[in-house]
Structure 1
Amino acid sequence: MEDFSAGDVPLGAFPGPLYQERWSAGYKDGTPDTAGQVSGGKSGYYPSKVLSVQNGALDWFLRSENGISMGAAPTPKIPNSSANPPRANSLLYGRYSVRYRADPMPGFKTAWLLWPDSGIWPRDGEIDFPEGDLAKIIYGAVHFARSGADAFDKFDSDQSVSSWHVATTEWSPGRVEFFLDGRSLGATTTDAPSTPMHFILQTESCLPICPAPETQGHVSLDWISMWVPA
């Protein structure tokens, strides 16, 4: 479990000495986010301008500069032997919980996801939770592990991100289930991912709308816990 109690890290310095053994800042500054990769839009990952640790929480300061909307995608390091060769954050099944909240920011979104180590998509699937525009409801999605066109099951909540929530994913052989504050949003058994994946706290913009230039605010991660099968 990570509760960011080791101390604060100023904006631009995460993970720093306090957290570098357990975290990576993720994609480097200037890396296009999902919308940027697909459409060439002016949005991307800028951890040096977004990430810090404040008052016992990992903080994303989301905003736009010079017409570019900025997010970040930090990644926890979880040494294990799921992958061959081993990687620092490879997982095969398990239970993943986060306690988080965000300011309502239309055009910015979370897509905190398990992504296949193989990088082969959609063949090896994808699991997203919590996902959603930061001015709308929280939902989860499981992209089926199959070749061909992308297909997925989506599970909506009736909750916004403006309050603290605990979002939990339970991934087991043949099944993925999502819980929000202990209440199940639903489960799928359709072509559930079955190969090692890694957890990325992908926070981005422009899917499908971009934030207004003046839109800014914070996403806060209070804690994250992961239970991985032995």
Structure 2
Amino acid sequence: MPTADLPGWRHVFAEDFTEGNVPLGGFPGPVYSSRWSENYADGTPDTAAQQQPKGARTSGYYPSKVLSVHDGVLDMYLHSENGVAMGAAPSPKLDGASQRPYNSLVYGRYSVRFKADALAGFKLAWLLWPDSKQWPQDGEIDFPEGDLSKVIYAAVHGVEAGEHRSDVFRPAQPYGDWHIATTEWRADGIEFFLDGKSLGISTRFIPNKPMHYILQTESCSPTCPLPETNGHVLLDWVAIWART
């Protein structure tokens, strides 16, 4: 896990989940509560469920049934119960923040080492979301993103000619193995790195207002995943830098 400052970047957060185990239903617990939040309570609709009528929702965030810590990793156990697909969206806290947004920055570098089982119908959308909640006007940055049975990609969202537009970078790399994904959000562009290799730089939509980081892990749509689909996303470490 990187812990040093880098040229142009000041290291502000590091987590490698080695300070103790937390059973399913206990995260963040006393050990990690100063550095992590569940972000959404059990039953909060995920992105797919927000498109459904309230009484017909088939997916949501359920951190008490998804998150645990063991063997030096944060384990996200993705599965369904009683017809509801369950994910979670934890957030790191900077400087022990006690209120949302927990890790607000203007420009930042975010790096994660993770491994995701190839689970059709579940996806990652680990993202930077505007504190203003004004979307897409104030932007959105996603990496890694994508259906876990397909490939990893990165995306930047914004407005162009009055319409929602996006830049997407596709390295043709599947999930299923360990990877390091790094996002550099700078004033001159947003650059994505997968396992140390640059995927490219987006200069079309560069947010310049505060954003916060959420490890959003959820279902893809109301019709998937299949009820029997289950597996794990393992997070080995997270490191964050602020722009100097």
- Using the size of structure 2 for normalisation, the TM-score is 0.88
Q: Secondary structure at the match of 1:4?
A: coil
The CA RMSD over aligned residues, in Å, is: 1.9
User: Match for residue 178 of structure 1?
Assistant: 192
- Offset from partner CA, 1:116-158 (integer Å, 9 cap, x none): 0001101100000000101110000000256843210000012
Amino acid at match of 1:32: P
> Residue 147 of structure 2 contacts residue 220 of structure 2 at CA under 8 Å; is this kept in 1?
no
What is the alpha-carbon distance in structure 1 between the residues aligned to residue 161 and residue 142 of structure 2?
A: 19
When structure 1 is superposed on structure 2, of 148-157 and 181-190 the one drifting more is: 148-157
Which residue is 1:101 aligned to? 115
Partner residue of 2:82?
66
Unaligned runs of 5+ in 2: 1-13
Task: Name the structure 2 match of 1:30.
Answer: 43
Amino acid in structure 2 at the alignment position of 1:27: Y
1:88-127 matches, cutoff 5 A = 88-127=102-141
The TM-score with structure 1 as length reference comes to 0.94
Structure 1, unaligned runs of 5 or more: none
Letter in 2 for 1:9: V
Of 10, 19, 25, the residue aligned with 2:32 is 19
Counterpart AA for 1:159: Q
Verify the 8 A CA contact 2:66 2:86 in the aligned structure 1.
yes
**Change beyond 3 A, Cα 1:80–1:54:** closer
4+ residue segments displaced more than 6 Å = none
Measure the CA separation in 2 of the matches of 1:217 and 1:86.
Answer: 30
- 1:161 aligned residue: 175
The count of corresponding residues between Structure 1 and Structure 2 is 227
Partner of residue 66, structure 2? 50
- Identity rate of aligned residues, in percent? 61
Q: Partners in 1 of 2:156 and 2:113 — Cα distance? A: 20
**Contact 1:80-1:86 at 8 Å conserved across structures:** no
